[in-house]
Amino acid sequence: MNRLELKKTKRWVIKIGSSLLTDDGRGLNRVALGQWVAQMTFLKRQGVEVVLVSSGSIAEGMTRLGWTKRPTVLNELQAAAAVGQMGLIQAYESQFSVFDLHTAQILMTHDDLSNRERYLNVKSTIQTLLEYGVVPIINENDTVVTDEICFGDNDTLAALTANLISADILVILTDQKGLYTANPRNNPNASLIQEIEVSSQSIESMASSKGGALGKGGMYTKVMAAKRAARSGTTTLIASGHEKNILSRLFKGEKLGTLLVPDLEPFTAHQQWLASHLQVKGSFVLDDIAVKKLSQFGGSLLPVDVLSQKGEFRRGEMVVCYDQKGRDVARGLVNYSFEESVKLLGKSNSQIIDLIGYLREDSLIHRDNMVFTK
Average pLDDT for 276-301: 86
CA distances to 25, 303, 319, 368 from 358, rounded to whole Å, are 58, 15, 22, 22
Distance CA 200, CA 253 (A): 23
- Are 293 and 255 within one domain? no
* Beta pairing, strands 258-261 & 195-197: parallel
CATH code of residue 175: 3.40.1160.10
Distance CA 182, CA 189 (A): 8
CA distances to 29, 230, 353 from 329, rounded to whole Å, are 43, 17, 28
pLDDT for position 125: 95
- Are 200 and 295 within one domain? no
- Are 47 and 154 within one domain? yes
CB atoms within 10 A of CB 293: 16
Three-state DSSP class for 150? coil
pLDDT for position 271: 82
Distance CA 17, CA 54 (A): 7
Average pLDDT for 256-263: 93
- Are 329 and 223 within one domain? no
Average pLDDT for 173-177: 90
Decide: 16 and 95 in contact? Cβ < 8 Å: no
Distance CA 363, CA 135 (A): 44
pLDDT digits (tens, 9 = 90+) for 296-305: 888 899 999 9
pLDDT digits (tens, 9 = 90+) for 141-158: 766 655 543 455 789 899
Tell which residue, 359, 372, 364, has the closest CA to residue 334: 364
* Beta pairing, strands 235-240 & 282-286: unpaired
pLDDT for position 145: 56
- Are 100 and 63 within one domain? yes
Distance CA 224, CA 228 (A): 6
pLDDT for position 152: 58
Write out the H or E segment, with its range, that includes residue 195.
strand 195-197
CATH code of residue 330: 2.30.130.10
- Are 246 and 307 within one domain? no
CA distances to 215, 252, 321 from 72, rounded to whole Å, are 13, 42, 33
Query: How many distinct structural domains can be found in the chain?
Result: 2
Task: Look up the domain containing 290 and give its range.
Answer: 280-372
Decide: 288 and 294 in contact? Cβ < 8 Å: no
CA of residue 99 relative to chain centroid, distance? 29
pLDDT for position 213: 46
Which amino acid is it at 88? Answer: L
Longest dimension (CA), the chain: 70
* Beta pairing, strands 282-286 & 306-311: antiparallel
- Are 287 and 198 within one domain? no
- Are 265 and 297 within one domain? no
Decide: 257 and 219 in contact? Cβ < 8 Å: no
pLDDT digits (tens, 9 = 90+) for 36-65: 999 999 999 999 999 999 988 888 888 899
- Are 61 and 105 within one domain? yes
**β-pair partners for 328:** 322
- Please state the length of the chain: 374
Tell which residue, 273, 238, 272, 309, has the closest CA to residue 118: 273
Average pLDDT for 232-253: 94
Tell which residue, 60, 84, 58, 87, has the closest CA to residue 73: 58
On the question of pLDDT at 94 being above 90, the answer is yes
CA distances to 24, 273, 279 from 276, rounded to whole Å, are 31, 5, 9
- List, in order, residues 6 or more apart from 24 with CB less than 8 Å away: 214
Q: Where among 250, 271, 292 does a domain terminate? A: 271
pLDDT for position 146: 52
- Are 176 and 251 within one domain? yes
Which amino acid is it at 335? Answer: N
Pairwise pLDDT comparison (284 vs 2), residue with the higher score = 284
On the question of pLDDT at 73 being above 80, the answer is yes
- Are 255 and 323 within one domain? no
Tell which residue, 139, 136, 143, 169, has the closest CA to residue 153: 139
Q: Where among 271, 299, 327 does a domain terminate? A: 271
- Are 70 and 167 within one domain? yes
Tell which residue, 263, 326, 262, has the closest CA to residue 291: 326
Mean pLDDT of the chain: 87
pLDDT for position 216: 45
Average pLDDT for 30-35: 90
Decide: 203 and 196 in contact? Cβ < 8 Å: yes
Pairwise pLDDT comparison (374 vs 316), residue with the higher score = 316
Q: Where among 227, 246, 271 does a domain terminate? A: 271
Which amino acid is it at 277? Answer: H
Distance CA 57, CA 22 (A): 9
